[in-house]
């Protein structure tokens, strides 16, 4: 009899019903391919998921006290953090975990991009991951308003205002987003609904697809390899390592939540409750979004009020949409990687994107303004100091890539640095510097291509 063969106890009881041995057997045969690159990159997806689980758990606990509403949202969070035992800890962990989730997710996305793990047949894994990234930003944006405090109110007013620049549909979109012409309690209700129902449902569904794709296709082999040079058993070796890392993350998370309950004190990464939102109060100067939206905020500032007969913010939104679009279809653009060949231009694109975001984020932080904020007088100094730091980082990146990864293609990285340099040190407007750098990069890429085809032709029979 089957029942007798599978032993007693809980394990046997479960085995008789669910045939767990088959699953463990399957998992123990599953291999994680190891290659020329650091294995650490493989854990970032798991870490992101760990933070998401923390978000779900702490979010549910917050929900037990949070009451959306004009007269209750702020008060309930205040009550939770001051009177409810460990309420402060739950809110602090939720906030820290949100920021750390975005950090790990961004690293996960860039590592996938650099390792070309998006190449066929894993295009949909990339796309689903990319949508998960956008949803995470949506979580950040919607959750920010929920405490209904002054900072969140004005930041949301400024943030939602951006959609008004969308041609034709702008006003309608703004109404839909805010539930009316202004940020009111209706906005709070719909942000609440989005934060705790709509986005989680979409997120869980997409994570399911993302994991299913990985499960079906396995992890991507190192570029150019037909068979993994080495491998690691998924179970128990990789899974237990994952668990170890999650515990380490938990340790860090709890420590941060206890010692820095309102964040590290960096602008855009601060969640002290402060005063209650007052729609009648004047908006105070220097309102900035969270750190992960800072680059868009700064890019909007770099645009003139009018460009090509359109409003500056409209053109900027169009540009941002194009950049996001390009990022989404990278698996189809990178045809060399699809053929299993090295694609240095796309590695370089990844690094150029990082430097592009670095400069805008630093400038958005008013690095170098000496606390003067983003007034007109300090803008050239902010541009200079931010450019200096970006150039330094860029140089380190180039040297490191040249030495460690033997990269030889730096056209896009250099173009990004050229733009920053022209703007920061020579006072050329950010957009003009960008146009000049793109033209220089196109010229350099075309020249390199010509030289290569010339060399190939000369070397032929």
Q: Are strands 230-233 and 31-34 parallel, antiparallel or unpaired?
A: antiparallel
Q: How far is the CB of 276 from other proteins (least distance, A)?
A: 14
Q: How far is the CB of 423 from other proteins (least distance, A)?
A: 37
Least separation in angstroms between residue 196's CB and other proteins is 24
With tokens 């045939």, the residue in question is 19
Alpha helices (runs of H) in 218-334, residue ranges in sequence order: 239-259, 294-302, 312-328, 330-333
365-367-368 Cα angle (round to 5): 150
Measure the CA–CA gap between 96 and 253, rounded to whole angstroms. 7
Measured from the CB atom, the residue of 241 and 384 that comes closer to other proteins is 241
Measured CA to CA, the distance from residue 7 to residue 14 in angstroms comes to 10
Which residues of the chain form contacts with other proteins (CB under 8 A)?
A: 81-83, 88, 92, 236-237, 240-241, 243-244, 247-248, 250-251, 254-255, 258, 261-262
Measure CA 281 to chain center: 33
Q: How far is the CB of 257 from other proteins (least distance, A)?
A: 9
Closest CB to other proteins among residues 29, 339:
29
Nearer to other proteins, 55 or 81 (CB): 81
Minimum CB distance to other proteins, residue 432 (Å): 39
In the complex with other proteins, the residue whose CB is nearer, 88 or 389, is 88
Rounded CA-CA distance 248/240 in Å is 12
Distance, in Å, from the CA atom of 157 to the CA atom of 22, rounded to the nearest integer, reads 54
Q: Which is nearer to other proteins, 241 or 381 (CB)?
A: 241
Helix axes 294-302, 344-364, angle to 10 degrees: 80
Q: CB of 401: closest distance to other proteins in angstroms?
A: 33
Taking the least distance from each CB to other proteins, the nearer of 80 and 431 is 80
**Closest distance of CB 237 from other proteins, Å:** 6
* DSSP state at residue 269: B
C-alpha span between 130 and 124 (Å, rounded)? 9
Is the CB of 86 or the CB of 426 nearer to other proteins?
Answer: 86
| Helix ranges restricted to H, 2-122 | 2-5, 9-18, 20-29, 43-63, 73-82, 87-114
Contacts of 305-308 spanning 24+ positions with Cβ under 8 A: 307/431
Residue 147, C-beta contacts closer than 8 angstroms, at least 6 positions apart: 73, 74, 77, 271, 273
Nearest-approach distance from CB 258 to other proteins, in angstroms:
5
Nearer to other proteins, 83 or 335 (CB): 83
């Amino acid at each position: 009899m089957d029942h007798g063969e599978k032993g007693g106890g809980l394990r046997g009881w479960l085995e008789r019903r669910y045939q767990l041995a088959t699953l463990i057997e399957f998992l123990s045969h599953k291999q994680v391919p190891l290659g020329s690159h650091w294995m650490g990159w493989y854990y970032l997806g798991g870490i992101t998921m760990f933070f998401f689980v923390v978000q779900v758990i702490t979010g549910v606990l917050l929900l037990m006290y949070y009451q959306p509403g004009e007269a209750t949202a702020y008060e309930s969070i205040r009550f939770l953090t001051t009177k409810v035992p460990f309420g402060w800890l739950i809110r602090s962990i939720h906030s820290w975990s949100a920021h750390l989730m975005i950090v790990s997710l961004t690293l996960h996305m860039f590592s996938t991009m650099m390792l070309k793990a998006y190449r066929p047949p894993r295009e949909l894994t990339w796309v689903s991951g990319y949508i998960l990234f956008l949803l995470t930003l949506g979580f950040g944006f919607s959750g920010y308003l929920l405490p209904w405090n002054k900072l969140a109110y004005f930041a949301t007013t400024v943030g939602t205002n951006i959609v008004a620049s969308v041609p034709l549909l702008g006003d309608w979109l703004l109404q839909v987003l805010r539930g009316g012409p202004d940020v009111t309690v209706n906005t709070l209700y719909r942000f609440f609904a989005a934060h705790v129902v709509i986005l989680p449902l979409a997120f869980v569904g997409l994570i399911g697809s993302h994991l299913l794709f990985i499960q079906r296709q396995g992890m991507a082999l190192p570029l150019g390899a037909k068979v993994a040079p080495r491998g690691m058993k998924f179970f128990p070796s990789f899974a237990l390592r994952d668990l170890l890392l999650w515990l380490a993350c938990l340790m860090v998370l709890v420590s941060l939540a206890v010692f820095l309950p309102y964040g590290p004190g960096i602008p855009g990464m601060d969640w002290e409750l402060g005063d209650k939102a007052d729609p009648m109060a004047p908006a105070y100067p220097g309102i900035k979004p969270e750190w992960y939206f800072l680059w868009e905020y700064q890019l909007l500032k770099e645009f003139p009020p009018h460009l090509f007969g359109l409003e500056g913010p409209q053109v900027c939104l169009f540009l941002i949409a194009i950049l996001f679009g390009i990022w989404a279809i990278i698996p189809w653009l990178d045809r060399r990687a699809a053929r299993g060949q090295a694609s240095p231009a796309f590695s370089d694109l990844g690094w150029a994107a990082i430097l592009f975001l670095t400069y805008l984020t630093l400038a958005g932080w008013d690095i170098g303004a000496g606390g003067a904020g983003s007034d007109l007088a300090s803008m050239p100094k902010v541009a200079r100091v931010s450019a200096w730091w970006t150039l330094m980082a860029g140089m380190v990146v180039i040297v490191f890539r040249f030495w460690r990864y033997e990269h030889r293609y730096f056209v896009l990285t250099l173009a990004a640095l050229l733009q920053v340099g022209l703007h920061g040190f020579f006072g050329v407007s950010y957009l003009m510097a960008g146009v000049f750098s793109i033209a220089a990069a196109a010229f350099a890429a075309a020249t390199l291509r010509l030289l290569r085809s010339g060399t190939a032709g000369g070397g032929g029979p």
